[in-house]
Amino acid sequence: MSQGRILFVINTLDIGGAQTVLVNSCNALAAVGVTPHIVPLKPERMFLASRLSSKVVIHDSLCYRTRKVFSASKKLKEIINEVNPDAVHTHLPISGYIAALAWSRNTILVATEHGRHPPGGIFQKLLERWTERRLNHRIFVSRNLQELFLASGITTEKNSSVIYNPVPPPMLNKSEARARIRKTLGISGNTIVFNFTGALRAVKNLPRLFRSFASFAGSRSQNCILLVVGDGSERTRSEALCSELGIEDRVKFAGNQNSVNDFFAASDIFVLTSRREAFPMALVEAMLCGVVPVCVAAGGIPELLEDGVNGFLLEPDDSSEDAAVFDRAVSSDLNVMSIKASENAAAVSSPENHAFKLKELYSALRGE
């Protein structure tokens, strides 16, 4: 498929992991001659639209609301007939359900699974199996996530594959950004900066992050701080917990930032204590910026990290050794580890490789 049109369907183009993946994926495909079309379900929150290549076509939203599923699917079918794409590719479950309703026998339908667990309820299972009968292929962003769906019986090895998320290399002067951000935040040059970047939500298991950092920091005379980039429903509770732990002067809440790479450049160690992750974008972005990762061995994270080689792994259900692992990271050769982390992330998340695999898949599904 040297040229072609792919119609992508997604809930919104707001800030989010799946939305960022879609934007990166469309830009990568546009760079190799494919024309991506995007149909958002809702007109609100189009923040990421500004990051799309000029070669990407954005259609009017389907104006989806909970009680307007069939109306949305009818509009999508009209767009499919107008564009006549080589494939319809959905991101996030509700987009997949609406595309399945708009399905016809000559439609090639692909869905990307980003991180949800296989549905457990009877109705959800029936809905998923009904959708699966219309799907030509299901893409998973990690092998771990694919295995969960295979075990549930929802999909098969034949009708699914793993394609890691594309993350473009950072365009920044690392030393300049490091000095600038540290000066802005009042962080001295010899301070070890731990970084958490992401939505402040319950699934990120933030209490473990703050308690483990407090345990580590309390035993060290060397300067160290935790830089928290992002916002969300858990921010107030997180700030209160930091005060309770006596580390409020060692934790800096930076809120949402337009250029997280600048904040990665100012950091030394990236920490992720989530209960579950499929393919965390923030982790890959941090590694590309040369930040050494320390992450819970959950979901697809072990597919990215080899303990002691390009990062460090924490036990999923036991935080008692977290402080010791933090100490291992700080005591390691951060420069060498940084290079290995960056090289590994670049190999796994190459936008060029991602685009090649998608084009190869679309062509195979069309019998080309």
Query: 1 pLDDT band (50/70/90 cuts)?
Result: low
Give residues with Cβ within 8 angstroms of 253, minimum separation 6: 228, 235, 238, 239
If DSSP codes are grouped into helix, strand and coil, which group holds residue 229? strand
Residue 264: which CATH number? 3.40.50.2000
Instruction: Compute CA distances 366 → 86, 89, 189, 204, 349, whole Å.
Output: 8, 14, 56, 40, 26
Query: 2 pLDDT band (50/70/90 cuts)?
Result: low
pTM value is: 0.91
Residue 344 and residue 355 in one domain? no
* Average pLDDT rounded to a whole number, residues 228-256: 96
Residue 76 and residue 101 in one domain? yes
Residue 112 and residue 186 in one domain? no
Query: 15 pLDDT band (50/70/90 cuts)?
Result: confident
List for the chain the helix, strand, coil content (%; round to 5). 45, 20, 40
- Asked whether residue 121 carries a pLDDT value surpassing 90, the answer given is no
Residue 157 and residue 296 in one domain? no
Residue 288 and residue 228 in one domain? yes
Residue 145 and residue 232 in one domain? no
User: With 0-12 CB in 10 A as exposed, 13-18 as middle and 19+ as buried, what is 138?
Assistant: buried
266 contacts 187 by C-beta, under 8 angstroms = yes
Residue in the structure block whose two tokens are 């935080």: 319
pLDDT higher at 44 or 242: 242
- Asked whether residue 3 carries a pLDDT value surpassing 70, the answer given is no
Parent domain of 358: 4-166+350-365
Query: 68 pLDDT band (50/70/90 cuts)?
Result: confident
Residue 299 and residue 361 in one domain? no
Instruction: Compute CA distances 222 → 217, 263, 264, 267, 301, whole Å.
Output: 8, 21, 20, 15, 29
Residue 35 and residue 138 in one domain? yes
359 contacts 34 by C-beta, under 8 angstroms = yes
| 146-161 confidence digits (pLDDT tens) | 999 999 999 999 999 9
pLDDT of 166: 97
Residue 270 and residue 321 in one domain? yes
Give the number of domains in the chain.
2
- Asked whether residue 163 carries a pLDDT value surpassing 60, the answer given is yes
pLDDT of 95: 95
* Average pLDDT rounded to a whole number, residues 321-330: 96
Residue 244 and residue 159 in one domain? no
Average the pLDDT over each of 37-46, 92-101, 190-199, 323-332 and give the range with the smallest value. Answer: 37-46
pLDDT of 201: 93
Residue 121 and residue 212 in one domain? no
Residue 137 and residue 183 in one domain? no
